[in-house]
Amino acid sequence: MMANHDNTLVLLLAGGVGSRLNILVRTRAKPAVPFGGIYRIIDFSLSNVMNSGMSRVGVLTQYKPLSLMNHLGIGEAWDLSGRTRGIKILPPRTGATDSDWYKGTADAVRQNIDFIRAHPSKEIIILSGDHIYHMDLADMLAVHRRKKANLTIGMMRVPLEQIHQFGAGIVNENDRIIDWEEKPTEPKTDLASMGIYVFDTEYMLRVLEEERQENDFGMHIIPRAISRDRVYAYPFRGYWRDVGTIQAYWQANMDLLDPASGIRPAQWGIRPNPDADGREADRPAARFAAGSKVNNSLISAGCVIEGEVSNSILSPGIRVEAGAVVRNSVLIDDCVIEAGAVVDLAIMDKRVRVGRRAVVGLGDNLTQVNSRYPQHLYTGITLLGKDAAVPPVTTIGRNCIISPLIKEDSFPGREIVSGTTIDLD
């Protein structure tokens, strides 16, 4: 455990809609999406805070926060509860309509200046709650102080074809940022912002007051700060993934099964909250029946495997009945795959039931994109929402969406072709 940083306040931005995750965020905020069997996405940022010795955290929520708030509780799972420790949920203050919501990262922080002033700090660390990574924030803070920076930005090199998704910084030989491009179409650099910032507190408060019309750090605050003040990059070289798309979410889960990928939640000290929602607490050990086959998969507590599972992530309480096959898939809590069913390249939310001898993920054509959401599903992954039920002897193709609560009598037929979305009327 690092030394305790009493003069540091952490603000965790956890309000994003995350709409590209489609039905996975229909009833929950993106940071609350389950990941890797027993975790939620926000567990990674919270555990980084805990493991870096920081103990005062404000979590800025906005979109569908209830499951996130339930998961966080009083912060006990991450050692953030106590007389001098704490986690505080900070919802938007101004009103109930969408137009009153946070208008950007800087606006979100500005709306919580009273919380910042009520918790005096020398520096403020601003994190996103929707990234999968492991970072020593104490080291980043030490570099910030050593360089006498006003602002330090966590940055890493990404493939040039991806840089348009990020803020990009050009640095000199001392890692001082001398130029900035926000989501450039013709980039001059491959150094991308991770959305992780260390600010001197008084400096940040002054800038937010001076730039009252500016709502976003990347678009507005950072470019001006670079031209006037001491802004440095903190180079990061470990595993980091923004799981904001279905493809990225699936790939990050699959990375857990690849020893060469670099993702190691247990070794990193990432803590879930096993008591929230009863996801893990009081579950029996996983059971593997005679004749079952499991290959290169992660099987959580409470699972019962009678059939075959390969290259898949199974959250607590999954049942794979005799003769059923699950391949290349991510199954969230308490799904049931009935006897003889096949699930191939799918993501299933909680309590999905796949009927006997049904097939989810049929056919070799992975490129027939989803007709309603072509930007969300285009690599062959089929999505099934919470509490959906697939009828027996039904086939579902690739890049399909079966919305939450769709029951057997809502299916239009026994053959759902690739690219189809089934929704409640």
Q: Domain check: are 38 and 157 in the same one?
A: yes
Q: What is the pTM of this model?
A: 0.93
Q: Domain check: are 30 and 152 in the same one?
A: yes
Q: Domain check: are 52 and 181 in the same one?
A: yes
Q: Domain check: are 293 and 348 in the same one?
A: yes
pLDDT digits (tens, 9 = 90+) for 149-173: 999 999 999 998 888 888 899 999 9
Q: Which of 200, 235, 255 is the last residue of a domain?
A: 255
Element (H, E) at 67: helix 66-72
Question: Which residues on neighbouring strands pair with residue 384, listed in sequence order?
Answer: 348, 402
- Residue 265 counted as domain residue: no
- Residue 162 counted as domain residue: yes
Which CATH number goes with the domain that contains 366?
2.160.10.10
Residue 175 reports pLDDT greater than 70: yes
User: Assign residue 181 a region: left if phi > 0, alpha if psi is -120 to 50, beta otherwise?
Assistant: beta
Q: Domain check: are 246 and 370 in the same one?
A: no
Integer angstrom CA distances of residue 172 from 149, 169, 177, 217, 234: 14, 10, 7, 21, 12
- Residue 248 counted as domain residue: yes
- Compute the mean pLDDT over every residue in the chain, rounded to the nearest whole number: 91
- Residue 272 counted as domain residue: no
Section 116-126 average pLDDT: 94
The percentage of residues in the chain with a pLDDT greater than 70, rounded to a whole number, is 95
- Residue 268 counted as domain residue: no
SS3 label, residue 212:
coil
pLDDT digits (tens, 9 = 90+) for 259-295: 999 999 999 999 999 877 666 667 899 999 999 999 9
Q: Would you say 365 and 379 are in contact if contact means Cβ atoms under 8 Å apart?
A: no
Domain range spanning residue 337? 283-422
Q: Domain check: are 251 and 290 in the same one?
A: no
- Residue 222 counted as domain residue: yes
Q: Domain check: are 72 and 220 in the same one?
A: yes
Residue 5 reports pLDDT greater than 70: no
Q: Domain check: are 219 and 308 in the same one?
A: no
pLDDT digits (tens, 9 = 90+) for 60-77: 988 888 888 889 988 889
- Residue 71 counted as domain residue: yes
Q: Which of 208, 235, 255 is the last residue of a domain?
A: 255
Q: Domain check: are 211 and 151 in the same one?
A: yes
Q: Domain check: are 19 and 161 in the same one?
A: yes
- What pLDDT, on a 0 to 100 scale, did the predictor assign at position 2? 44
Q: Domain check: are 25 and 163 in the same one?
A: yes
- Provide the strand spans (E) within 29-85: 34-35, 39-40, 56-60
- Residue 270 counted as domain residue: no
Which CATH number goes with the domain that contains 19?
3.90.550.10
Work out the angle at residue 19's Cα, subtended by the Cα atoms of residues 16 and 24, and round it to the nearest 5 degrees.
100
Number of domains the chain contains: 2
- Tell the burial category of 326 from Cβ atoms under 10 Å away from its Cβ (0-12, 13-18, 19+): buried
Q: Domain check: are 97 and 52 in the same one?
A: yes
- What pLDDT, on a 0 to 100 scale, did the predictor assign at position 386? 96
